[in-house]
Structure 1
Amino acid sequence: MPIITAPQEFNVEDLYVDLGAILGTPLYLKCEGFNFAGSVKLKAAAEMVGAAERDGLLTPGKTIVESSSGNLGIALSIIAAAKGHRFLCITDPRCNPASLRLMRALGTEVRVVATQDANGGFLESRIRYVRDLCASGDRYVWLNQYGNAGNWRAHYAGTAPAIASRFPDLEVLFVGAGTTGTLMGCARWFREHRRPVTIVAVDAVGSVTFGGIPERRMVPGLGTSTRPELVDESFVDDVVHVPETDTIRTVHRLSSRGFLFGGSTGTVVSGAARWLEEKYPGERPVAVAIAPDLGERYLDSIYDETWLRTHFGPIVADLDLPAADIQEITVP
């Protein structure tokens, strides 16, 4: 077992779940949630903060500011606490309550922007708030995960070569599209190393990242209401858009087998399974999907019956949910 002095020094890189028995589809799931941040975002956060320090942008007295729907905010909270930096996270009402509590527990100041942008989301409003904040003085350092090359470089240096080493015959790689840092880093690595791997981006229905029509989205994580600066479609072979109802069905299907994953993972797995069934019917290609997060911080949303009934009423009947109330009993 490793001995570490900082939380960002630990990450499980080589854990995969064989989903064949659960889905009936050949798919290995790379689990990125086994670190102190609970998600793949720890890699990008560490790289972006490290680069800002090396470049002299992040110095004592400065405050990191970033827009996040949850996972990156938690990752930056951990690293800021470990390094002694102040961190201000700008989020929106769709951020999970558990994520808000985690960031605050780590010493982060959190501000919630409740103004929707023209596409019905909050991303543009959050970014506008960050820009105005930075224009008000030089104490703030905006890492800008949507355009920071450190976001994709973290995965170019670590995630992609780790997958290639474990699966030298890899044929298809499925990567969720949020900021597209993980997607772009992995896609660039396989392209530049001339590996014949089909790169499939998995996005949420209602996201505009790949030219989709903006729609309401309730599950935080994947998808955007403003196209990220990092995205370069020339590195992507195909795109799958997943309705949030399919995301929810998939996470509950996995949890019924003991695997509690987050909403982003449910989207990626759902899109990957559908794509493989359509493109490789009856075949068994070597396929890997990246699971960005685990499910504990979604207990107040996609695993909560009241939340599901409020936002996705008809789908609840399709899910094998336990009794809504926890019973208190008296033993004589």
Structure 2
Amino acid sequence: MISVSRPHQLLDAGIYVDLREILGLHLHVKCEGFNFAGSVKLRTARRLIEQARTNGDLRPDSVLLESSSGNLGVALAMVAASTGLRFVCVTDPRCTTLNLGLMKALGAEVVMVEHAEPEGGFLAARKERVRQLCAADPRYLWLDQYTNPANCQAHYESTAPVIAKHFPGLDVLFVGAGTGGTATGCARYFKDFAPGVRVVAVDTVGSVNFGGPSRVRRIPGLGASQRMPLVQPALYAGVQLVEEEDTVRMCRTLAERGLLLGGSSGTVVHGAREWLNAHDPHQELTAVAIAPDLGERYVDTIYDNTWLAANYPNVR
């Protein structure tokens, strides 16, 4: 039995889905959506706030501030509500309706950036708005998931050790790359404690994280329109890029079998399948993929036929 006193204390439900029956793929998917924040970003949110408190940056009148396209914003809103803090999230129109509603329900204030910057897109616009807010009011405390080492440390301390415990014979781990916190934190852990484990980063086409050209991306979560300092390609055994059309196809294929995953999760699973087909055709490796979130937050995008027809008409 798991018993917690406050919602933010529940981190890991230890749930994995073996995809052999669903996809014919020897891959275990670690489902990170079974906590009160609904995503792996709860680990990041907790660690960012803990570090701010340890450093003495968090004062009694502080207002937490962060830029997020969705899941981290919800996680920070939940931790803030659970610990009696104020939180303001700067987001953009790609944030799903449900994520916006969840942040507001949890007491967060939401600031919407309507226009993308010519260089750096919505991410650059959100960060500039954060800087403006900080300059106007010293109470604002920007946690800065993009450069804060606590982002990586969260996954070095909790995500990777849990996977290593459950899969002592692990050969390869697939992790999505957004800010780079999860991928780099896990890669550093396995480099230190199990160097034989390969960590493969999965990113979306149109992200500039690994030097590719920027392109419009419609699914929030993975990828970035500016290079993320926490992304460390030298630590990863490989990088797998996924087209958003393939993300949608994978999400819908899994949903047809009863497994409703989020956009980032669909991206990671598709990338893992492509990598395993190329590098493990006989399915001999022990492989795990981190699924950052579940799919209910995408019912008005990936799982909506009207949205699909408007954005990806060739996907069926």
The normalised TM-score by structure 1 is: 0.93
Superposed displacement of residue 54, structure 1: 1.9
Superposed displacement of residue 119, structure 1: 4.5
Q: Which amino acid aligns with 1:60?
A: P
Q: Quick check: 2:268–2:291 contact (8 Å CA) kept in 1?
A: yes
Give the unaligned 5+ runs of structure 1.
Answer: 319-332
Q: Quick check: 2:120–2:226 contact (8 Å CA) kept in 1?
A: no
Q: Secondary structure at the match of 1:30?
A: strand
Cα distance change of structure 1 residues 130 and 178 upon mapping to structure 2, 3 Å threshold:
same
Q: Deviations over 1:268-307 (max 9, x none)?
A: 0000001100111123211110000001111111011111
Please name the residue that 1:195 is paired with.
195
Q: Quick check: 2:13–2:35 contact (8 Å CA) kept in 1?
A: no
Please name the residue that 1:218 is paired with.
218
Q: Deviations over 1:123-142 (max 9, x none)?
A: 01111111121122311000
Q: Quick check: 1:119–1:215 contact (8 Å CA) kept in 2?
A: no
Distance, in Å, in 2 between the alignment partners of 1:284 and 1:298 is 33
Please name the residue that 1:171 is paired with.
171
Distance, in Å, in 1 between the alignment partners of 2:281 and 2:252 is 24
Is 1:108 aligned with 2:96?
no
Please name the residue that 2:289 is paired with.
289
Distance, in Å, in 1 between the alignment partners of 2:115 and 2:180 is 24
Q: Secondary structure at the match of 1:99?
A: helix
Q: Secondary structure at the match of 2:303?
A: coil
Q: Deviations over 1:138-186 (max 9, x none)?
A: 1100000011111111110111111111111111110000111110110
C-alpha RMSD of matched pairs (Å): 1.1
Please name the residue that 1:328 is paired with.
none
* Higher CA-based Rg: 1
Q: How does 1:222-241 map to 2 (within 5 A)?
A: 222-241=222-241
Q: Deviations over 1:188-217 (max 9, x none)?
A: 000011430111100000000111110110
Q: Quick check: 1:120–1:215 contact (8 Å CA) kept in 2?
A: no
Distance, in Å, in 2 between the alignment partners of 1:120 and 1:132 is 17
Please name the residue that 1:303 is paired with.
303
Distance, in Å, in 1 between the alignment partners of 2:107 and 2:258 is 32
Q: How does 1:133-212 map to 2 (within 5 A)?
A: 133-212=133-212
Please name the residue that 1:54 is paired with.
54
Distance, in Å, in 2 between the alignment partners of 1:85 and 1:161 is 29
Q: Which amino acid aligns with 1:238?
A: G
Q: Which amino acid aligns with 1:201?
A: A
Distance, in Å, in 2 between the alignment partners of 1:297 and 1:178 is 18
Please name the residue that 2:18 is paired with.
18
Q: Quick check: 1:120–1:216 contact (8 Å CA) kept in 2?
A: no
Q: Quick check: 2:88–2:108 contact (8 Å CA) kept in 1?
A: yes
Cα distance change of structure 1 residues 293 and 59 upon mapping to structure 2, 3 Å threshold:
same
Distance, in Å, in 1 between the alignment partners of 2:11 and 2:56 is 27
Please name the residue that 1:130 is paired with.
130
Q: Which amino acid aligns with 1:189?
A: Y
Superposed displacement of residue 117, structure 1: 2.2
Please name the residue that 1:63 is paired with.
63
Distance, in Å, in 2 between the alignment partners of 1:16 and 1:98 is 25
Distance, in Å, in 2 between the alignment partners of 1:88 and 1:163 is 32
Give the unaligned 5+ runs of structure 2.
Answer: none
Please name the residue that 1:329 is paired with.
none
Cα distance change of structure 1 residues 311 and 194 upon mapping to structure 2, 3 Å threshold:
same
Q: Quick check: 1:119–1:214 contact (8 Å CA) kept in 2?
A: no
- Displacement over 2 Å in runs of 4+: 117-121
Deviates further, 64-73 or 227-236: 227-236
Please name the residue that 1:327 is paired with.
none
Superposed displacement of residue 224, structure 1: 0.4
Q: Secondary structure at the match of 1:199?
A: strand
Q: Which amino acid aligns with 1:26?
A: H
Q: Secondary structure at the match of 1:239?
A: strand
The normalised TM-score by structure 2 is: 0.97
Is 1:261 aligned with 2:261?
yes
Distance, in Å, in 2 between the alignment partners of 1:13 and 1:139 is 35
Please name the residue that 1:325 is paired with.
none
Is 1:34 aligned with 2:34?
yes
Q: Quick check: 1:261–1:294 contact (8 Å CA) kept in 2?
A: yes
